[in-house]
Amino acid sequence: LSLSTAISAPPDANYDEAKVPEYTLPDPLVAADGASVDDPAEWISKRRPEILELFKTHVYGRSPDAPKRLQYELTSIDRQALGGKATRKEIAIKLGDAPNAPSMNLLLYLPNDVSKPVPVFLGLNFKGNHTIHSDPGITLSEVWSRPSKGRAGEKKRGSEKSRGTSASRWPVETIIDRGYGLGTIYYGDIDPDFHDGFKNGVHPHHDKHESAERPADAWGSIAAWAWGLSRAMDYFERDDDVDQKKVAVLGHSRLGKTSLWAGATDPRFALVISNDSGCGGAALSRRRFGEKVKRINTSFPHWFCGNFDKYNDNEAALPVDQHMLIALIAPRPVYIASAAEDQWADPRGEFLSGLHADPVYRLLGTDGIATKEMPKVDQPSHSAISYHVRTGKHDLTAFDWGQYLDRADTIFQGSATPA
């Protein structure tokens, strides 16, 4: 009995490799006019923009430009955080030019005993900044509840007792001890994660639709969260303690889909990490394994753009597949990670996206992916396209972080120099 069949699938999902339909992936190196792309300049000037445009039109939607003026405020600083080893800053970053535009609160830990600037991991969190560590100095985030039983979603200050409740996913001391900074933002600051017709969060502050109807390529929530990550990057460019050339963007699950789209749309991210991102993230849609396009569009109608609905039970018609999302990140290093018991996210489909992005990575002069065979459980494969599938469930664990830190050490070499 293979692991995938041992875990029972929801009624409308397939967990059996033998039932994956035959499919043909669009070739990332054949342009819309049918010409094959065989030099890096052509990829950059012609094919990459085509693919980016296809993802904006059919999958994630079209995001606005950055605000004209970056407005931010340092709202707290403690140079003796975590027993003196770190500086903790909180920065409110405005998500638009208008005075009533929302702000997001960036929580930033930086190691004290290393020379600045430092490389930084940046990732959104699900439950509020104060849940990532029990540090009493973290401001309690205002957290959205989802609408239920006729009640609208609402925002409430997080409770004292929820401090540190997501700490297993954020090994802050380890990150600091290894010479890295960590930046994180509650994703609901950017857009609350429920479907309200795009009335709250950043959308209404940027959408200027002529007609009452929302365009089919208007940005969804994943695009909004990714756009927020780019606004954190705008801030990093102004913070002398942060090495803006060494920022790794990371996310788990829906936020892994988000980190991939952030990495694809914003070349300032030097390393892009997808942890168990699954459907609409690293997993190939055409495999119809685990979560499918129709399922995700039904459960989460606000995540993608309206056009993505056209591919419900119709994946073969997609002009892209997710290997092309990985290719958009090239030649920058990407790390795709899966969990063996997370069949919903299709580990093999996540690996295959990396494999089929390899020709683009090689065209751009990198070592691409190191193996054509799916690596065994707990045996990471490291190269420009890194991949691992670890033992266990859908989660972001110490094992995952250990790999990401090792990989960052290699890529950002010598980053952790003692002061």
Q: Which residues of this chain interact with ligand GCU, rule CB under 6 A?
A: 253-254, 278-279, 291, 296, 299, 344
CB of 303 to ligand GCU, least distance (A): 8
Give the Cα separation of 389 and 347 in Å (integer). Answer: 7
CB of 292 to ligand GCU, least distance (A): 10
CB of 302 to ligand GCU, least distance (A): 13
Q: Would you call 394 a catalytic residue per the annotation?
A: yes
Cβ-based nearer residue to ligand GCU, 28 or 349: 349
CB of 299 to ligand GCU, least distance (A): 6
Q: Would you call 253 a catalytic residue per the annotation?
A: yes
Q: Are 317 and 385 in contact (CB under 8 A)?
A: no
Cβ-based nearer residue to ligand GCU, 202 or 283: 283
**Which residues, including other chains, have CB under 8 Å from residue 299's CB and lie 6 or more apart?**
none
**Which residues, including other chains, have CB under 8 Å from residue 65's CB and lie 6 or more apart?**
none
And the tokens for 304? 């993608």
H or E segment at 227?
Answer: helix 221-236
Cβ-based nearer residue to ligand GCU, 234 or 395: 395
Of the residues 76, 195, 230, 394, only one is catalytic, namely 394
DSSP 63-74: PPPPPSS--EEE
CB of 175 to ligand GCU, least distance (A): 22
DSSP 186-222: EGGGT--SS-SSS-STTHHHH---SSSSPPTTB--HH
Cβ-based nearer residue to ligand GCU, 51 or 279: 279
CB of 260 to ligand GCU, least distance (A): 12
Of the residues 63, 166, 221, 253, only one is catalytic, namely 253
Number of C-beta neighbours around residue 24 at 10 A = 8
CA distances from 299 to 24, 193, 291, 294 (A): 27, 12, 10, 9
In angstroms, how far is CA 121 from the centroid of its own chain?
A: 12
Cβ-based nearer residue to ligand GCU, 308 or 344: 344
And the tokens for 409? 């050490």
Cβ-based nearer residue to ligand GCU, 106 or 222: 222
Q: Are 21 and 288 in contact (CB under 8 A)?
A: yes
And the tokens for 368? 């691409």
Q: Where are the beta strands (DSSP E) in 210-344?
A: 242-252, 271-275, 334-339
CA distances from 108 to 28, 176, 251, 366 (A): 37, 11, 16, 32
CB of 277 to ligand GCU, least distance (A): 6
Give the Cα separation of 328 and 226 in Å (integer). Answer: 15
Cβ-based nearer residue to ligand GCU, 183 or 281: 281
Q: Are 289 and 283 in contact (CB under 8 A)?
A: yes
And the tokens for 61? 């939607």
Number of C-beta neighbours around residue 45 at 10 A = 9
Residues catalogued as catalytic = 253, 394
